[in-house]
């Protein structure tokens, strides 16, 4: 998605001009616009409504339908842009949020941190450190410089890679550089209790590249092991979150709730660790109901919880919809809530 213009006032009223460029951008657009039909096969959106600006084709106030399609610019105005919609625009327009693959292409003293999207490769950081040659009987200068280089690469990885989006991080180099770097990175992660790196350790894949220059990334992407890893679905994170919820529901039911009222009460107790919510709830025709879901998302984030918004087009999103579309994994048990009658039947949209 390409953002052409964004004019939003302090009261959150305003308009944005966008150009959908990929099929997935049409799905983002579908979630931004109300009163709309989505043809997923043709990748077309049909917007229905009354005309508010007369022209030679349509009279003022006349009922009209227009079609939105890839590479057709449109401007969308809202009286109230909520946080969920604004975040969706930010993610749709930032290539980093569509990059399934990240790569660290390196050699001693030189590294490029790249993001790989379906249509482009973006260099997000370049790390260069002068590494003195090893001297006979004295390697201290070389080792200190190498450690400084490794540390800068680790910092760049944490700064530029969205671990909740990226499913594979290639570490490519000639020789043993990649092995030595990964050993250093995870040894430091253990020492500093860096949970982000430790929890995502399985995503790092070491492959050969002839140098630390960006053009060597092509060699790494052709590696059969890489192709195998990339066969996983983009929604793997959502699938795991839903699986975690079902396991919690089975083994610790006091820490797994679904249904809007139950989840809201758990949030009031600041108990939500992970909120699972379907994107179809943000398309609810009733503004008050839609705002209720947005408020829940904002509150969970403010309380340092994780929010996972599921696509209703994906199988995991369909499963979540069967649980009213909203569920939560709690930080600690809230037994008094589990004793209440489940209210899910009254909250389905």
Asked whether 318 and 253 are in contact (CB, 8 A), the reply is no
Taking residues 94-104, report their average pLDDT: 78
pLDDT for 64 = 82
The C-alpha angle 251, 194, 198, rounded to 5 degrees, equals: 55
More confident residue, 131 or 95: 131
Q: Is the pLDDT of residue 235 over 60?
A: no
Distance CA 177, CA 212 (A): 10
Q: Is the pLDDT of residue 346 over 50?
A: no
Residue 209 neighbours by CB under 8 Å, 6+ apart: 105, 172, 173, 174, 216, 217, 219, 220
Asked whether 136 and 154 are in contact (CB, 8 A), the reply is no
How many Cα atoms within 13 Å fall on the side-chain side of residue 116? 19
Asked whether 132 and 145 are in contact (CB, 8 A), the reply is yes
Most confident range (mean pLDDT) of 89-103, 105-119, 134-148, 249-263 is 249-263
pLDDT for 317 = 82
Distance CA 81, CA 90 (A): 13
Q: Is the pLDDT of residue 250 over 60?
A: yes
**CA-wise closest residue to 31 among 97, 89, 118, 99:** 89
Q: Is the pLDDT of residue 268 over 70?
A: yes
Q: Is the pLDDT of residue 348 over 70?
A: no
Lookup: tokens for 175 = 């020789």
Task: Name beta bridge partners: 105.
Answer: 112, 172
Taking residues 84-112, report their average pLDDT: 86
Q: Is the pLDDT of residue 249 over 80?
A: yes
Average pLDDT score, the chain = 86
Taking residues 26-53, report their average pLDDT: 79
More confident residue, 63 or 170: 170
Sorting pLDDT into bands at 50, 70 and 90, what band is 173? Answer: very high
More confident residue, 134 or 72: 72
More confident residue, 59 or 281: 281
What's the residue count for the chain? 349
Q: Is the pLDDT of residue 337 over 70?
A: no
- pLDDT more than 70, % of the chain: 87
Q: Is the pLDDT of residue 237 over 80?
A: no
Lookup: tokens for 191 = 């020492």
Q: What is the 3-state secondary structure (H, E, C) of the chain?
A: CEEEEEEECCCCCEEEEEECCCHHHHHHHHHHCCCEEEECCCCEEEEEEECCCCCCCCCCCCEEEEEECCCCCEEEEECCCCHHHHHHHHHHHCHHHHCCEEEEEEECCEEEEEEECCCCEEEEEEEECCCCCCECCECHHHHHHHHHHHHHHHHHHHHHCCCCCCCEEEEEECCCHHHHHHHHHHHHHHHHCCHHHHHCHHHEEEEECCCCCHHHHHHHHCCHHHHHHCCCCCCHHHHHHHHHHHHHHHHCHHHEEECHHHHHHHHHCCCEEEEEEEHHHHHCCCHHHHHHHHHHHHHHHHCCCEEEEECCCCHHHHHHHCCCCEEEEECCCCHHHHCCCCCHHHCCC
Q: Hey, how many other C-beta atoms are within 10 angstroms of the C-beta on 152?
A: 15
Q: Is the pLDDT of residue 343 over 60?
A: no
Q: Is the pLDDT of residue 341 over 70?
A: no
Lookup: tokens for 323 = 């649980």
Distance CA 106, CA 174 (A): 8
Whose tokens are 């657009």? That residue is 29
């Amino acid at each position: 998605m390409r953002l052409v213009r964004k004019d939003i006032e302090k009261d959150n009223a305003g308009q944005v001009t966008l150009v959908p460029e990929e099929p997935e951008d049409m799905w983002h657009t579908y979630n931004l616009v109300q009163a709309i039909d989505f043809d997923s096969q043709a990748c077309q959106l049909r917007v229905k409504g009354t005309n508010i600006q007369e022209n030679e084709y349509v009279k003022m106030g006349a009922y009209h339908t227009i079609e939105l399609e890839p590479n057709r610019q449109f401007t969308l105005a809202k009286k109230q842009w909520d946080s969920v919609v604004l975040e969706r625009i930010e993610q749709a327009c930032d290539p980093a949020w569509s990059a399934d693959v990240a790569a660290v292409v390196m050699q001693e003293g030189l590294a490029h941190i790249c993001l790989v999207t379906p249509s482009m490769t973006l260099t997000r950081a370049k790390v260069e450190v002068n590494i003195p040659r090893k001297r006979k009987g004295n390697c201290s200068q070389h080792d200190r410089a190498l450690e400084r280089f490794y540390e800068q690469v680790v910092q760049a990885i944490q700064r530029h890679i969205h671990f909740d989006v990226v499913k594979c991080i290639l570490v490519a180099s000639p020789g043993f550089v990649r092995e030595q770097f990964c050993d250093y990175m995870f040894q430091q992660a253990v020492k500093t209790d860096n949970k982000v790196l430790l929890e995502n350790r399985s995503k790092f894949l070491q492959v050969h590249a002839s140098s630390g220059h960006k053009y060597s990334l092509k060699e790494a992407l052709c590696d059969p092991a890489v192709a195998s890893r990339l066969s996983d679905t983009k929604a793997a994170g959502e699938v795991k979150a839903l699986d975690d919820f079902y396991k919690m529901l089975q083994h610790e039911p006091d820490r797994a709730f679904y249904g809007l009222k139950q989840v809201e009460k758990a949030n009031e107790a600041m108990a939500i660790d992970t909120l699972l919510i379907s994107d179809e709830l943000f398309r609810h025709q009733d503004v008050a109901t839609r705002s209720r879901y947005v408020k829940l998302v904002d509150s969970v984030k403010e309380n340092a919880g994780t929010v996972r918004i599921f696509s209703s087009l994906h199988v995991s999103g369909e499963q979540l919809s069967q649980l009213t579309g909203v569920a939560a994994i709690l930080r600690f048990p809230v037994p008094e809530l589990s004793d209440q009658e489940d209210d899910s039947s009254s909250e389905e949209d």
